[in-house]
Structure 1
């Protein structure tokens, strides 16, 4: 059977190389649903070209989302229930991939990050551990398309954090010869890629790490305040009507994670409901708008503090992506705190800010097919660059 690697390599090597169609899919720490893209890819690394053919977010059914959030919050679950949840997530990803291809030529490969339900960074000389549900083998079987999944494992096995994994894509799409840039994702957890001028020739100069909470605390707070009727603060309008308590923000920034030097990664295990509860006890005198404004300021301050501590200098440009890039108040606060930095979204550079993470996993699957490394050791702390992802191939029927 011809696997997807040889098919992709043949397309790239061919003189009249045709684009490779790939699907990328991810559900982030906000657990809002599945972001999926269908893209055409040409080139390899710094000459990579990405054309988006289709992009859509597929919300989880409420029952499934509730089950995922319960596991992410540390709820006990039997092995049978975990297997059922794993399969349900895989089916949701498969349905998204099938729907996305309607009215388009089919993809030849899927890159699925799945749904992270647990992430433990390496510590005390022990390897990290990260669990993403949504079995690649099930996804391949249901769609009939070779699937690459479990991207974090290979990086973790060589001592890396297993995150962030988007930094090599950021390098290829946003790196420049003459400008220092940062790409800041604002999903449930925030992460940054620092791209110094000239990094296209020197990949090891790129840096990246998780900066702390992105939207996760804000979304939990909004859900609590509205008894679940709202899951996020649209445009940051509610928070914008309040006033942040800067004293509380400075106190929360004493958390060890913010002072920990990169490489570093985190998740809901650290910045989740327990952390929010501790913050709320200290902020009980605040009204609802001030409470949300203060949580927004924590996200902003975590980013600014990380840049000040761990970057050699502030960037010329800051590109935002992820759901938080649509939060106007958060963006305004970042621009106010980084007054000499041009704050934009990746839309301004031609990359859809809502789907950049999904694009990354389409590209990582593509690189897996080309046998190209997908991690940057200077970002994750891995001992070497490695090919990422496990392949699940579709079995062909036997010929009588």
Structure 2
């Protein structure tokens, strides 16, 4: 089946679109990338999304208009990605997360989580004329799960190694890990685990935007941070935050690691009189340290390989720092195992849509904390 996967993450950089050919079911799952691209949001729309993510109050009418505007952008991305290729039979659209509330650790019907993704699937289906699956997180959340991360099952099917343990570390706005035991291990799928590790690029991007008055939105290749000096004392102080010590399953977002959190970090860095390069080096180190701390505290062992994906995988300074801290592991990218790191999340939601129409559960309860495996996503026909 030819499927289009659409994804925009917490960095709100744009819409990643991947046209893939999917076959098999789970252990025999195969995915072939036919085309892929990232479509940047119009600046005014991106600014509005970021404002809502940051807690700006909006009316229901304004939220509805934003929902429509995001859906139109997603639909146009789907149309563009297949304009010179064979027509897709299905779309899997993650949408744009603007709010994510993890469930209470005391699970009751009143303490379920909540997650809101804009970009309504019914409008995407209408514009494109293609059956669309969206709202993937809701079913897992209704079963007491975090609704995130949802990619580890796809990682397990596509990226497990027969004899090596692997960690697939996504570094988008937020970081998340999927730990994959060697596939020759007995009951290997039941041993797969994963969770959100903390901030990825979100704080860094906000900091660069602040330091450049908006002329830049990210530190290309970590070049600016590489010129600074890390303040390890501040990093250790920030790592005392409860989230880093909370046992999985766990998930987070800009609600926790967003502008307000950066403001507190900024005050700490001003008191230490850090220059701009030092600030970015220290914020980069927080991302690195949160990943390393998460591995050491919660993984059964340090993996043989750590394969990066997402925007942070292109930050060579961040990769260098991870390798320095995880000496025994090989730090690489998913591109090395022929899975495009820039488009991996979009590919994953294409697979989740494929699984949905083939009645295959998409979540892993040991990852999300849901009561049981379940079908993910709502189906919208054109």
Per the normalisation by structure 1, the TM-score is 0.93
> What stretches of structure 1 move > 2 A for 4+ residues in a row?
198-202
Residue 230 of structure 2 is aligned to residue 249 of structure 1 = no
CA distance in 1, matches of 2:340, 2:132: 23
Matching residue of 2:268: 282
Q: Name the count of aligned residue pairs.
A: 375
Residue aligning to 2:304? 316
Looking at structure 1, the residues matched to 143 and 180 of structure 2 have their Cα atoms a distance apart, in angstroms, of: 23
Deviations 1:329-382 (A, max 9, x none): 000000000011000000000001100000000000000010000000110011
Q: 2:33 matched to 1:52?
A: yes
1:381 is the counterpart of 2:369: yes
**CA–CA distance in 1 between the matches of 2:366 and 2:191?**
7
Q: Say which of 133, 138, 141 aligns to 2:123.
A: 138
The answer to whether residue 219 in structure 2 is matched with residue 233 in structure 1 is yes
| Equivalent-residue separation in structure 2 for 1:138 and 1:103 (angstroms) | 23
| Contact 1:136/1:147, CA 8 A, preserved across alignment | yes
Secondary structure at the counterpart of residue 304 of structure 1:
helix
Q: Distance in 1 between matches of 2:48 and 2:340?
A: 30
SS of structure 1 residue aligned to 2:162: coil
In 2, Cα distance between the equivalents of 1:373 and 1:188?
27
Shift, 1:232, TM fit: 0.3
Render the CA deviation track for 1:21-48: whole Å, top value 9, x for unaligned. Answer: 0000011000011000000111111111
- RMSD (Å) for aligned C-alpha atoms: 0.8
Q: Distance in 1 between matches of 2:268 and 2:44?
A: 32
Q: 1:174 offset after TM fit, Å?
A: 1.0
State the match for 1:358 in structure 2: 346
- 368, 378, 386: which one pairs with 2:356? 368
Task: Give the match for residue 271 of structure 1.
Answer: 257
Contact 2:228 2:280 in 1 (8 A): yes
- Matches of 1:244 and 1:382, distance apart in 2: 39
Unaligned ranges ≥5, structure 2: none
1-side partners of 2:305 and 2:22: how far apart? Answer: 26
**Which structure 2 residues correspond to residues 1-400 of structure 1 after superposition, within 5 A?**
20-123=1-104, 124-125=106-107, 126-198=111-183, 201-284=187-270, 285-394=273-382
For 2:114 and 2:88, locate their aligned partners in 1 and report how far apart those are by CA, in whole Å: 31
Say which one has the larger Rg.
Answer: 1
Shift of 1:200: 8.2
Find the residue that maps to 1:36 and give its secondary structure.
strand
